[in-house]
Structure 1
Amino acid sequence: MGDSYRYKPLSYFALVFVLTWAPWSFAAYYSYQRAMELYSNLFVLVGLLGPFVAALIMIWSSGSRDLKHDFKRRLIDLRLIRPGYIPVILLLAPLALFLSTWLSVEVGRTADQFRLSGGFATMLPIIVLAPTFEELGWRGYGMDSLRAKFGMMKATLLFSVLWAMWHVPLFFLDHNYQHGLWNSSPIYLANFFVSVIPAAILMNWVYYKNNRSIVAAILFHMALDATAEAFQTEQFTKCIWTGVLLFISILVIAGNRAFFFEEKKRGLGSACAFSGNE
């Protein structure tokens, strides 16, 4: 990057947690109050904007014209997406779930899991909005800031931890998916946090292999969320799904060792260091 901007991951993620955890705390409080569902939902939406708003603050306060241009280019230029990766972006998650469901049925679980979920249509807005707002932040600034400091593999694992922690307030939100896990089996609760690891690995692989296209990351994230909500999938099967995605992640890492285990840090936060087909 021409003006040698240095990424600031600590500032970014601290800002993200403040901008998200504060409104989500209010959302959790209102979720237990009668006739306050609207307020709870509004605070959930505000908190969801946290990663994106934090990225905008970091980018636009940076004083770096190159950083601003880089963000716009990665958001607008669809030519960054490599055509060969489009099937991966759209089909990897559903195919992995199909295999997991088949294995689940083979060990005695119900075949009804192949049926579409009745509440899928009502979840469409959140399936679109959540990945969009998250990836505008995570891939718009967050992941590059970690990679510039730690290298690819360490940054990915650290991001997995931060991403999992970011969801914590949702476990205290009444009638929420995460709250349901909190009140279910500890295994299913643990699976939620473990599942973040392969999701982060595959998301970063797609992101960097597509020239850091934010749109590619958004589409892959949408495919993951849509797949998780589209079918009547049991939590038992979602554990298998995590295992399948972990296996795929290991294959991806094995096939891209130089990429994931780069020997030195990538410059001074230069977006140019991340450009091109990695």
Structure 2
Amino acid sequence: MLKKYQLCSFFILSFAISWAIWSPLWLEALGVDVAWRLPLHHAWGSLGPISAAFIVTAVNHGKSGVISLIRSIVSFKSWRWILIAMGIPLVLFLIAWFIENAGSPVVYLSDIGHSSEHPEWGVATFFLYNVLTFGLGEEVGWRGFALPQLQRRHKALMASLVLSVFWAIWHWPLFLYRPGYTDMGAGAIFGWFISLVLGSVILTWLFNGSKGSLLTVIVFHAAIDVAFTNAATNDEVITLLGAFITVLGIAVLIYPGKGGLHKTPRITDMRLSEKDVCV
């Protein structure tokens, strides 16, 4: 299967690896006591997509394919797109914060960039943690491996939508144990999925616009995570920030001119034949 259905194999392996790593956390939520834990256990689950990408690449393309994937991670293409990737989350967060806190602050801007979960970390440590875990761990798989192959046979929007479904499924254990997910009702889950879809659209736009720069989407993913989880945020800021991301995703989607999602050339992976792609 790893050879015949490469993309399907990637998704299955991504789920299996991440869900297995997270199993002590979600099994405990279901009443099953699992003794073993890792430091920062939740973060290790982010390695599922990147691990799956390397496994499927190694099986099908050998050493040269693995080297090519590594090079795609470390290659630098444009400062402009890196700055866009870092700037969008920062600017949107600051707007959301000032709207909610300009008069009488409930949370303080001096705490921006510090982890609410790990307050002992400095700003650089918190950002680097997000780059190396959910930024690198997810994006090498979702955008570095899956998206180019989906764009071989689908337009950018459809590729983003298809990828969103698998990306959402990957998150399901978090709804059993992770704060911020466990208290979501049906309406909140629907809103979360819509934001995930539009986030996928933005990431596709960044990936294609930067001519396939994985560093760009890794930085954006990490910056978004920092924006949503830093100590200077609260529920109101998170709600506003989510709304702004949604509006940005819609703008990228409907903008008809050069630089929009539909007019930006797609980055595709030419190593697969049509029969290798299952969706």
State the TM-score bracket (shorter-chain normalisation): 0.7 to 0.9
Task: Give the equivalent residue in structure 1 for 2:276.
Answer: none
**Which ranges in structure 2 are unaligned for 5 or more consecutive residues?**
273-279
Query: How many Å separate the matches in 2 of 1:64 and 1:168?
Result: 32
Rate the CA distance shift 1:101–1:203 in 2: closer, same or farther, 3 A. Answer: same
Task: Describe the SS at the equivalent of 1:231.
Answer: coil
Structure 1 residue identity aligned to 2:130:
I
Query: Paired residue for 2:170, among 166, 169, 188?
Result: 166
Task: Give the equivalent residue in structure 2 for 1:203.
Answer: 203
Task: Give the equivalent residue in structure 2 for 1:86.
Answer: 82
- 1:92 Cα shift? 0.6
The question of whether the paired residues in 1 share the 8 Å contact of 2:82 and 2:219 is answered with: no
Task: Give the equivalent residue in structure 1 for 2:157.
Answer: 153
TM-score of the aligned structures, taking structure 2 as reference length: 0.76
Worse overlay, 212-221 or 56-65: 56-65
Task: Describe the SS at the equivalent of 1:260.
Answer: coil
Query: How many Å separate the matches in 1 of 2:110 and 2:266?
Result: 46
Rate the CA distance shift 1:258–1:225 in 2: closer, same or farther, 3 A. Answer: closer
Task: Give the equivalent residue in structure 2 for 1:112.
Answer: 107
The question of whether the paired residues in 1 share the 8 Å contact of 2:96 and 2:240 is answered with: yes
Q: Would you say 1:96 and 2:100 are equivalent positions?
A: no
Structure 1 residue identity aligned to 2:69:
F
Structure 2 residue identity aligned to 1:88:
I
The question of whether the paired residues in 2 share the 8 Å contact of 1:16 and 1:54 is answered with: yes
TM-score of the aligned structures, taking structure 1 as reference length: 0.76
Residues 167-203 of structure 1: CA distance to partner in whole angstroms, max 9, x if unpaired?
1101212xx33xx432256555444333212322222
* CA-atom RMSD in angstroms: 3.6
Query: How many Å separate the matches in 2 of 1:24 and 1:157?
Result: 25
Task: Describe the SS at the equivalent of 2:61.
Answer: coil
Query: How many Å separate the matches in 2 of 1:23 and 1:249?
Result: 31
Report matched runs for 1:210-249 at 5 Å: 210-249=210-249
Q: Would you say 1:127 and 2:130 are equivalent positions?
A: yes
Structure 1 residue identity aligned to 2:270:
S
- 1:136 Cα shift? 2.0
Residues 210-235 of structure 1: CA distance to partner in whole angstroms, max 9, x if unpaired?
22121221111111111222233222
Higher helix share: 1
Rate the CA distance shift 1:10–1:215 in 2: closer, same or farther, 3 A. Answer: same
Rate the CA distance shift 1:265–1:252 in 2: closer, same or farther, 3 A. Answer: closer
- 1:156 Cα shift? 0.6
Structure 1 residue identity aligned to 2:47:
L
Structure 2 residue identity aligned to 1:212:
G
Query: How many Å separate the matches in 1 of 2:244 and 2:162?
Result: 21
Query: How many Å separate the matches in 2 of 1:181 and 1:170?
Result: 6
Query: How many Å separate the matches in 1 of 2:34 and 2:50?
Result: 30
The question of whether the paired residues in 2 share the 8 Å contact of 1:12 and 1:58 is answered with: yes
Task: Describe the SS at the equivalent of 2:107.
Answer: helix
- 1:17 Cα shift? 1.1
Task: Give the equivalent residue in structure 1 for 2:75.
Answer: 77
Rate the CA distance shift 1:187–1:61 in 2: closer, same or farther, 3 A. Answer: same
Rate the CA distance shift 1:29–1:260 in 2: closer, same or farther, 3 A. Answer: same
The question of whether the paired residues in 2 share the 8 Å contact of 1:150 and 1:265 is answered with: no
Task: Give the equivalent residue in structure 2 for 1:276.
Answer: none
Query: How many Å separate the matches in 2 of 1:271 and 1:210?
Result: 21
Task: Give the equivalent residue in structure 2 for 1:194.
Answer: 194
- 1:155 Cα shift? 0.9
Rate the CA distance shift 1:242–1:257 in 2: closer, same or farther, 3 A. Answer: farther
The question of whether the paired residues in 1 share the 8 Å contact of 2:256 and 2:262 is answered with: no
Percent of residue pairs bearing the same amino acid type: 20
